[in-house]
């Protein structure tokens, strides 16, 4: 998986897709800072996810952004998305790989080197660690830190995605410690001071 240092954002969708979302997404992806967009909808029907996913896939393709699906291998295959993100309670990596073949599969490793090694042995395309900060998007049971990030960078060349409460004030230290991608959601979609385009412009 190629890494473009200028495109360090791994953007995760809001929990609910409003009509204004698609235009915001186009304007964000035009800025050429986003490598991945992950569709993460927990309370939406499979049918609606397909309709939403088809629209997003077209936008991602136009702006050369990889389109990933959270948790759902079946939806990934149905939409022919670029890949899937698996949590520890989702389908096992080996089974997902048989279904998705050479598509991108990333794995949540929380704050565990042990989980990372397991994902690496299963040929995960990226490893996700967090939470590095308090997150408003989801409850954080696991806390990760820069020491963990430094340790994992010493043992693998697999790209690292860092998660959890990332914003314009704390993102630089993660990049300086060689995180490859920053998973961001709430700072973009739930920002009370800035609209999505303004928010993402602060991430330089």
**pTM score, whole prediction:** 0.95
CB-based contacts of 26, cutoff 8 Å, min separation 6: 59, 63
Torsion of CA 153, 159, 163, 167, to 10 degrees: 90
- For domain 9-201, which architecture applies? Alpha-Beta Barrel (3.20)
Question: In the 8-state DSSP scheme, what is residue 92?
Answer: -
Task: Dump strand ranges (E) for the chain.
Answer: 9-12, 34-39, 66-70, 83-86, 104-110, 126-129, 160-162, 181-184
Question: In the 8-state DSSP scheme, what is residue 181?
Answer: E
**How much is the pLDDT for 5?**
74
Helix axes 146-155, 113-121, angle to 10 degrees: 30
The 10s digit of each residue's pLDDT in 2-23 is 787 789 999 999 999 999 999 9
- Rounded to whole angstroms, the Cα distance separating 89 from 114 reads 16
- pLDDT band for position 137 (50/70/90)? low
Judged by phi (left if over 0) then psi (alpha if -120 to 50, else beta), residue 32 lies in left
């Amino acid at each position: 998986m190629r890494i473009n240092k200028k495109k360090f954002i791994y953007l995760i969708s809001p929990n609910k897709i409003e009509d204004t979302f698609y235009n915001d997404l186009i304007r964000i992806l035009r800025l050429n800072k986003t490598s991945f967009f992950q569709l993460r909808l927990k309370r939406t029907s499979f049918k609606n996810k397909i309709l939403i996913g088809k629209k997003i896939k077209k936008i991602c393709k136009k702006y050369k952004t990889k389109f990933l699906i959270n948790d759902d291998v079946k939806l990934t295959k149905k939409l022919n998305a670029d890949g899937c993100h698996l949590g520890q309670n989702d389908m096992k990596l080996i089974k997902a790989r048989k279904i998705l073949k050479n598509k991108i599969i990333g794995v949540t490793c929380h704050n565990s080197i042990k989980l990372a090694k397991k994902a690496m042995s299963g040929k995960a395309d990226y490893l996700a660690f967090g939470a590095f900060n308090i997150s408003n998007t989801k409850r954080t049971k696991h806390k990760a830190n820069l020491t963990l990030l430094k340790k994992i960078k010493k043992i693998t060349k697999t790209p690292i995605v860092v998660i959890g409460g990332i914003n314009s004030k704390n993102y630089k230290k993660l990049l300086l410690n060689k995180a490859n991608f920053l998973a961001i959601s709430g700072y973009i979609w739930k920002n009370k001071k800035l609209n999505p385009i303004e928010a993402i412009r602060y991430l330089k």
